[in-house]
């Protein structure tokens, strides 16, 4: 495969006929005057392809189209590539995009290890990383950068929300099934800290590699622990497999209100009685995952997300446009994040008259963003985009009115409670 092919395909979206002369002198010549290039670095064929993948490319394209009416002479080009969930491949693509194609920002970045590597590179290159699909809270902690913005969610918001909700119901003992790479470890770390802080206990963990099909040994270890909550610190295909196999083992509560008995110790491999079944906490699940699992298996599952297609008229309108290009599929929160982060970046480039990374991020931080999909968004000095989050419950089949009518909103979590307080993450940047 040649370098050009490895970098992925390109879709040119012209936003105005005239060119502008505002570009920063440091801008690579490859892009040309008046042209802004954004790369969508994503997972096209791996475990996250339904959460991101082609849908993220569509979302970035919709952002470029919507920017056209306010572009003031700028043209936007969207590039895309598959990082294959490998940091070295992701970094090589990003480096080629910046050095040879003049890309100003890279968006999406599922897989925390890839996101951390690309964030470092974009700081080195003076461009912008828009980590709209990466969950590691280290991006706004020890690995924060003046050139990186993290949209949508992170492990702190996911883990803390789930822990507070479940420990508050009396489900105090937890066991983690964790994917053995950066995302899983950080997700477990943040959730476990919240469990302990709210009076719960962590009984153990079972690791698995990315993409492992058979999770029976991990589920048996979780069952043998007697934990009241089995917390899945994974996502994508791994999370889907875990939920389906847990149902096959008879481990899970099928009714929302049923409660495990403290101290119960079912025998490994046996089908637990309803009173003994633990609750399942999917710490990083998205609507594509629930649709794939099906309501019959996923009903009653509690999960936290930042976006749902049926929240407002604006989210419904965007979702209709997205679905028209995606065979009827609605956007995930990650894909919605690609749209919002890309649009905010393009507006900041226009307003700052520069593509210098730190300058553009500073422009994004200057004032709250009135975002149609996430509400009022404030970008903090540590790079965290702060907005409301929502606690959802998966509907029972009888309550669903259509193939994507999957969630019932239980609680709106305000921005101040949804994300780690500024200053507590260990970000070395000035935070005032």
pLDDT of residue 19: 27
Mean predicted confidence (pLDDT) in 39-63 = 96
Q: How far apart are CA 174 and CA 195, in angstroms?
A: 8
Which one has a higher pLDDT value, 403 or 28? 403
Average pLDDT value for residue range 316-345: 98
Dist CA 352 CA 289 (whole Å): 39
CATH number of 156-305+406-413: 3.40.50.2300
Residue 221 has pLDDT above 50, yes or no: yes
Distance CA 200, CA 194 (A): 8
Q: Check if the beta carbon of residue 233 is closer than 8 Å to that of residue 208.
A: no
Least confident of 14-18, 361-365, 392-396, 398-402: 14-18
Average pLDDT over residues 298-307: 87
> How many angstroms separate the CA atoms of 272 and 44, rounded?
38
Cα maximum dimension of the chain: 71
Please tell me the distance from the alpha carbon of residue 376 to that of residue 394, in angstroms, as a whole number: 26
Residue 253: pLDDT band (50, 70, 90) is: low
Integer Cα distance of 95 and 101 in angstroms: 9
- pLDDT, position 28: 39
If you count them, how many residues does the chain have?
A: 432
- pLDDT at position 4 is 39
pLDDT at site 417: 84
* 48 contacts 84 by C-beta, under 8 angstroms: no
Mean pLDDT taken over the chain: 87
pLDDT for position 343: 98
How far apart CA 28 and CA 99 sit, in angstroms, is 7
Domain with CATH 3.40.50.2300 in the chain: 3-153+312-387, 156-305+406-413
Q: What's the CATH code, domain 3-153+312-387? A: 3.40.50.2300
pLDDT in tens, 78-133: 999 999 999 999 999 999 999 999 999 999 999 989 999 999 999 999 999 999 99
For the chain, the first-to-last Cα distance in angstroms comes to 47
Task: For 165-189, write each residue's pLDDT tens digit.
Answer: 778 778 899 999 999 988 899 889 9
Question: pLDDT category, 332, cuts 50, 70, 90?
Answer: very high
Question: Would you give the DSSP letter of residue 89?
Answer: H
Reported as a pLDDT band with limits 50, 70 and 90, residue 363 is very high
**pTM listed for this prediction:** 0.84
Position of tokens 């979302």?
A: 59
Q: For position 117, what pLDDT does the model report?
A: 97
Tell me which of 312 and 18 has the higher pLDDT.
312
pLDDT > 70 fraction of the chain, expressed in percent and rounded: 87
Alpha-carbon torsion angle 338, 341, 343, 349, nearest 10: -130
How many helices (DSSP H) and strands (DSSP E) are in the chain?
A: 14, 16
Stretch among 111-120, 196-205, 270-279, 329-338 having the lowest mean pLDDT: 270-279
């Amino acid at each position: 495969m040649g370098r050009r092919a490895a970098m992925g395909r390109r879709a040119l979206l012209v936003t105005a006929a005239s060119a502008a002369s505002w570009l920063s002198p440091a801008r690579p010549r490859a892009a040309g005057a008046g042209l802004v290039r954004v790369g969508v670095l994503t997972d096209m064929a791996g475990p996250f392809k339904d959460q991101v993948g082609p849908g993220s490319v569509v979302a970035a394209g919709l952002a470029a189209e919507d920017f056209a009416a306010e572009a003031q002479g700028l043209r936007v080009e969207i590039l895309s590539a598959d990082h294959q969930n490998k940091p070295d491949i992701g970094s090589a693509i990003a480096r080629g995009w910046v050095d040879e194609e003049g890309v100003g920002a890279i968006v999406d970045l599922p897989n925390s290890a890839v996101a951390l590597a690309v964030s470092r590179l974009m700081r080195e290159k003076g461009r912008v990383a828009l980590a709209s699909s990466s969950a590691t809270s280290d991006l706004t902690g020890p690995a924060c950068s003046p050139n990186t913005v993290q949209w949508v969610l992170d492990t702190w918001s996911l883990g803390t929300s789930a822990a507070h909700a479940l420990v508050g119901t009396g489900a105090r003992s937890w066991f983690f099934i964790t994917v053995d790479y950066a995302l899983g470890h950080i997700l477990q770390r943040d959730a476990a800290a919240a469990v302990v802080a709210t009076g719960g206990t962590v009984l153990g963990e079972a690791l698995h590699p990315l993409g492992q099909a058979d999770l029976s040994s991990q589920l048996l270890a979780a069952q043998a622990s007697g934990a009241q909550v089995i917390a899945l610190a994974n996502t994508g295909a791994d999370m889907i497999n875990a939920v389906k196999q847990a149902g096959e083992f008879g481990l899970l509560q099928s009714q929302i209100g049923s409660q495990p008995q403290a101290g119960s110790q079912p025998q490994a491999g046996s089908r637990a009685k309803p009173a003994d079944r633990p609750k399942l906490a999917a710490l990083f699940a998205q609507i594509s995952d629930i649709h794939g699992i099906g309501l019959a298996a996923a009903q009653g599952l509690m999960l936290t997300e930042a976006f749902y297609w049926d929240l407002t008229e604006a989210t419904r309108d965007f979702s209709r446009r997205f679905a028209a290009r995606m065979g009827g599929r609605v956007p995930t929160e990650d894909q919605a994040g690609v749209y919002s982060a890309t649009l905010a970046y393009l507006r900041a480039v226009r307003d700052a008259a520069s593509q210098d990374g730190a300058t553009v991020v500073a422009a994004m931080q200057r004032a709250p963003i009135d975002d149609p999909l996430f509400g009022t968004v404030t970008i903090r000095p540590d790079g965290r985009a702060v907005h409301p989050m929502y606690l959802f419950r998966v509907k029972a089949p009888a309550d669903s009115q259509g193939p994507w009518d999957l969630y019932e909103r239980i609680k709106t979590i305000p921005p101040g409670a949804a994300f780690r307080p500024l200053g507590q993450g260990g970000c070395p940047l000035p935070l005032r």
